[in-house]
Amino acid sequence: MAARFCGVFVLLTVSLSGLTASRPAVNQELSNLFNELWRLDVNRMTPGTDYTISVQGRASYVTQGSHVVRDHASLPLFSNVNESKLMNTTTISQFTKLLDNYERSSGVAERVTAEELTEINLFLDAVLQTEVMKRAHRYLVSKGKSSSDLRQFKSQLNLIWFHLYHRQRTAGLDSSGFEHVFVGETRSGSEIVGFHNWIQFYLQEKNSHLDYKGYKARDHDLPDQDDHVLNLQFSWHGLVKPVGSAFIGTSPEFEMAIFTVVFLLNTDRSTTVLVNIDQCQMELVVIRHGRSLGTAYPKLLSSNSRHLRQHSH
């Protein structure tokens, strides 16, 4: 069966009728670009071949900060992942080396060693060699948002993703865009913030630090193991994330590329763009922290081309 981009993980907090009135128009230029990046993403994992997910039950409502949650998924989300492919993909193997470089708690200053700086460098070098990031770079140069000089573009990526800043005012330099989005953090010992990456999710789940609690979706939506965007609930080191969203199976360079483009095209503190990627309509949310990234995540609106069928009625 041909893998679909995403199926039916949808979390809508407002009715569709109310949504269409206020929803911004689809950004066709970015949709075209991101579909091109999607096709160029040779390091993307194929569902059913490179990994298998088991979505199980619908998660219950949990208030932010609550640690008591019913488990609607007795099995892990990832029933298997082709680890040899994971570790033999250069960008992914370099990416995984970065995951243990961070203090989980925001409010605890990060100490960056020389070895960790080398790992960041090697990761960025690997990402810059991919067709996905080369294409994103050409687009940003055409918009006057990035220098065509590769070294300058690399330092721009470094500033956006790896520059350390204060997420909690009381602390030292305790956070970065990369840490927040790809690794995940805890705040005040009571909640999970960030954590929007499937590879980190899989590795944490495998090491029994994370427990998948079920999917989040509207009543009529049933999840699908071919989905490439999920809304899900999980606990991590005893804390609960009531609803988190992430791409599934995509490469780190694909996620970095699309969020870097959205970040650099806008100067507002918070930006939301509506795009269609493959058969999915989603919002990409990017919040800045000065000249660096505060957070970035996909928010699924409709899948299986449902948004196309709605317009044809």
Active-site residue list? 180, 196, 241
The whole-angstrom separation of Cα 162 and Cα 130 is 19
Q: Helices (H) and strands (E) in the chain — how many of each?
A: 11, 10
Calculate the alpha carbon distances from 183 to 36, 96, 271 in Å.
Answer: 27, 10, 22
Contact between 244 and 195 under an 8 Å Cβ cutoff? The reply is: yes
The dihedrals phi and psi of 117, each to the nearest 5 degrees, come to -65, -40
Half-sphere exposure of 56 (CA within 13 A, CB side): 20
The whole-angstrom separation of Cα 194 and Cα 176 is 11
Nearest to 98 by CA among 110, 109, 84, 108: 110
Reading the block at residue 109, the tokens are: 């200053």
Torsion sign over Cα 304, 306, 307, 312? positive
